Amino acid sequence: MKTTQRAWFVTGTDTGVGKTLVSAALLTALARSGRRVVGMKPVASGCDATLHGLRSADAEALSAASNVAVDYADINPYALSAPTAPHLAATTAGVHIDIGTIRTHYARLAARADDVVVEGIGGWLVPINRTQSMADVVRALELPVILVVGMRLGCLNHALLTQHAILASGCRLLAWVANTATGDRPEGYLEALTERLDAPCLGVLPALSSVALAADHHFFDLRVLGPSVKPT
């Protein structure tokens, strides 16, 4: 059997809905299943100054969940210090976020791993420069999308608007994750989203989830991601 190379883009209905938790947990679950996995955070703002340069806590969480050794610069090619929207943080730093550069780093990761999980920043249409958004990154990388929904008041509207934007961008919504760790899981919301989102639910994460707990196969149905092997 020959390993099939796969990759996904993880976006969220908003910032702070658990994209990093889901991305790192998904990497951990895939690694447990025997896959060579690596995470990527193309753009990160609010990074910390370290002896090794600017570092993103999100990118480091993805790196810790990966089982392939790669350079940090490939995981997080644009590390920005200002804790604000990426295009503003880039302007402050005198940096232009270039999708071609992101594609180059992504290709390096894809060449080393069976599966690549790419985590976005903010929501679907967050700007990365004067004319482009994260949606343009996803189109350039040709990745199917996993949507993380923080289960709290307002999430129905946010999830359905995000689905509409994903499809309008010419991208494919492959699956979605209900993250109850970010809210109170309002009664009936899970059922409402299941009925209205045009993609299967990859998992429902419980409150107080950690990466290890969320990675449990009881919470992720990895079959939703498609086959991992094919005949030679």
Side chain identity at residue 154, one-letter code? G
Return all residues near 135 (Cβ < 8 A) that are at least 6 apart: 124, 125, 165, 166, 169, 171
Residue 228 has pLDDT above 80, yes or no: no
Show which residues are catalytic: 41
Q: How do the domains of the chain map onto residue ranges?
A: 2-226
The number of beta carbons lying within 10 Å of the beta carbon of residue 207 is 12
Q: How many helices (H) and strands (E) does the chain have?
A: 9, 12
Q: Which residue has the tokens 């482009």?
A: 132
pLDDT per position as a tens digit, 19-60: 999 999 999 999 999 999 999 999 999 999 999 999 999 999
Just give the CATH number of 2-226.
Answer: 3.40.50.300
Return all residues near 182 (Cβ < 8 A) that are at least 6 apart: 16, 17, 18, 150, 151, 152
pLDDT per position as a tens digit, 127-174: 999 999 999 999 999 999 999 999 988 999 999 999 999 999 999 999
The number of beta carbons lying within 10 Å of the beta carbon of residue 153 is 10
Helix (H) or strand (E) holding 207: none
Question: pTM of the full predicted structure?
Answer: 0.94
